Structure 1
Amino acid sequence: MPVLPGAEPYRHDGGEVGILLCHGFTGSPQSLRPWAEHHAAHGLTVSLPLLPGHGTRWEDMRLTGWRDWYAEVDRELRSLRERCARVFVAGLSMGGALALRLAARHGDAVAGVVVVNPANKVHGASAYALPVARHLVRSAPGIASDIALEGAQELAYDRVPLHAAHSLRTYLRLLDGELPQVTQPLLLLRSAQDHVVPPADSARVLSRVSSRDVREVVLEHSYHVATLDHDADRIFEESLAFTGRLAPRVGKEGTAAVG
């Protein structure tokens, strides 16, 4: 199936500091494209891949699972490491969960982590029914476009394939056990109102990681897809400042270089 217009992956070759951006469950690079372009404009090397099964039609996602999604971002991280001196990982929702596992497994190869409304658990009584329900029901209503900004839309599926939702649940349970292996500096941004991922998920992440350099920012004016919402500029600026602090000279005079 062809990729939906706007859901294409994005890459930019910049300086010696790179950032890998990971989009969310049933979403696409469109939700993070402004973030990617902002950092590219400040001289960073940027990779924003399209996860397998995403960006086409929800039926395609039924054939994929967490191992496919994680393998894609793992490959992108390794590619960035080949051409950048410092690499950061970042993500929205499930993308944040993918970024956290990259940090847990790659250690010093990851300079820092930025997560926005990171997912830690599939919530609700229906989550416990997924192992059986996925064989009986193909999909459930979508979770896209939880955005406060009027007129803003997320390019994502209007249905959630239950096979994929079950795989996500399995992944998040695995990740929870690996969070203590995350030791890198961490910037966590969460929305005060989020109708997809509750504040408990961010609290759980913060309580489980071993990072000592941790900053939490509350986004007062945005819902779940905060990267397309009222606080988008703040996310971009906080993220750039974070990378700049840990990799000095990022963004100066249109270049990115480690000091």
Structure 2
Amino acid sequence: MTTQYPILDGAEAFFFKGNDIGVLISHGFVGTPQSVRFLGEYIAQQGFTVCAVRLKGHGTHYEDMESCLYSDWVQSLEEGYRLLQQHCREIFIIGQSMGGALTAQLASKHQDLAGIILINAAMTSIPVLEEFRGKQEPRFVDEGAPDIKDKNVYEITYSKVPISAIQQLLLLMDDTKERLPHITCPVLAFKSVEDHVVPPENTDYITQHVSSPIRKTVTLQNSYHVASMDYDKELIAETSCAFIQAHSKIQQASITS
């Protein structure tokens, strides 16, 4: 019988009802919505409707990740997208790390997206994970401390990660990489100069291979990988809101009317 693990305190999905412009947010691999809570709350305070999903197998126990396929994570984000469609006429998506790959997946399928925002997105090369490609053992590997420069920050995450989940992440990246040319919406990408998990070259690869006419990269000087919780979180939040306002047809129509 499969153990039913409760959701960790603080790791829950969240939803803030605002205007007709929706912002869907995805956390990263072994993370939870807690890691994007500041960003979500800031955006909601500007009047937007915000939904942050909890990806399947996350925010409970690392054993829950073991049976997950990357299609389950794509589905988790799709469910958030469909929820926002019920409340909004326009949708942007923000994804951090693996959430960036998931965001790109949805953007390649939903051509009506208003824009996407990527934060240290995982796409082409994560050296610490590549060594597990094709391996069956060990069943679990130790997960290091979250890569955050601000040592006063606590992120809810797992102490271990299933090797099967690592392989699913690699498959997600492989699949998404092939889909990048199908992305045509505006793209805002943040990359940390010093990222000990996902090399910033991942972001460069994405912006070079999408078909979007609007592509902007912002370099973060004072954050490590989990930038949405780090010293540059206010910069990310402010820049993201400016991007949403600039590329929202609803917002622009209200300004000109």
Structures share a fold, TM > 0.5?
A: yes
Query: Who is 1:232 aligned against?
Result: 233
- CA distance in structure 2 between the aligned counterparts of 1:102 and 1:258, rounded to whole angstroms: 30
Query: Who is 1:253 aligned against?
Result: none
Question: What SS is found at the alignment partner of 1:31?
Answer: helix
Q: Is the 8 A contact 1:27 1:144 kept in 2?
A: no
Percentage of identical aligned residues: 35
- Counterpart residue type for residue 98 of structure 1: L
Q: CA deviation at 1:126?
A: 5.8
Query: Who is 1:94 aligned against?
Result: 98
- CA distance in structure 1 between the aligned counterparts of 2:120 and 2:145, rounded to whole angstroms: 14
Is 1:142 paired with 2:133? Answer: no
Q: CA deviation at 1:122?
A: 4.9
Query: Who is 2:221 aligned against?
Result: 220
- CA distance in structure 2 between the aligned counterparts of 1:258 and 1:27, rounded to whole angstroms: 40
Q: Is the 8 A contact 2:33 2:54 kept in 1?
A: yes
Equivalent residue runs for 1:20-169 within 5 Å: 20-108=24-112, 110-124=113-127, 127=130, 129-131=132-134, 133=135, 135-169=136-170
CA displacement, residues 45-87 of structure 1 (integer Å, 9 cap, x when unaligned): 1110111100011111101121111001112112212321110
Q: Is the 8 A contact 2:128 2:197 kept in 1?
A: no
Equivalent residue runs for 1:240-259 within 5 Å: 240-247=241-248
Equivalent residue runs for 1:167-186 within 5 Å: 167-186=168-187
Q: Is the 8 A contact 1:103 1:184 kept in 2?
A: yes
Q: Is the 8 A contact 1:249 1:258 kept in 2?
A: no
- CA distance in structure 1 between the aligned counterparts of 2:212 and 2:108, rounded to whole angstroms: 11
Deviating 4+ runs (over 4 angstroms): 256-259
Q: Is the 8 A contact 2:55 2:76 kept in 1?
A: yes
Which structure 1 segments of 5+ residues have no match?
A: 251-255
- Counterpart residue type for residue 127 of structure 1: E
Q: Is the 8 A contact 2:117 2:188 kept in 1?
A: yes
- Shift of the 257–23 alpha-carbon distance from structure 1 to 2, 3 Å rule, reads farther
- Counterpart residue type for residue 111 of structure 1: A
- Shift of the 258–219 alpha-carbon distance from structure 1 to 2, 3 Å rule, reads farther
Q: Is the 8 A contact 1:86 1:258 kept in 2?
A: no
Question: What SS is found at the alignment partner of 1:203?
Answer: helix
> What is the TM-score when the length of structure 1 is the normalising length?
0.92
- CA distance in structure 2 between the aligned counterparts of 1:199 and 1:54, rounded to whole angstroms: 25
- Counterpart residue type for residue 148 of structure 2: I
Which structure 2 segments of 5+ residues have no match?
A: none
Say which is worse superposed, 141-150 or 163-172, in terms of deviation: 141-150
- Considering only aligned residues, what root-mean-square deviation do their CA atoms show, in Å? 1.8
Question: What SS is found at the alignment partner of 2:86?
Answer: helix
- CA distance in structure 2 between the aligned counterparts of 1:246 and 1:203, rounded to whole angstroms: 22
Question: What SS is found at the alignment partner of 2:76?
Answer: helix
Question: What SS is found at the alignment partner of 1:207?
Answer: helix
Q: Is the 8 A contact 2:132 2:163 kept in 1?
A: no
Say which is worse superposed, 118-127 or 176-185, in terms of deviation: 118-127
Equivalent residue runs for 1:193-208 within 5 Å: 193-208=194-209
Q: CA deviation at 1:248?
A: 6.1
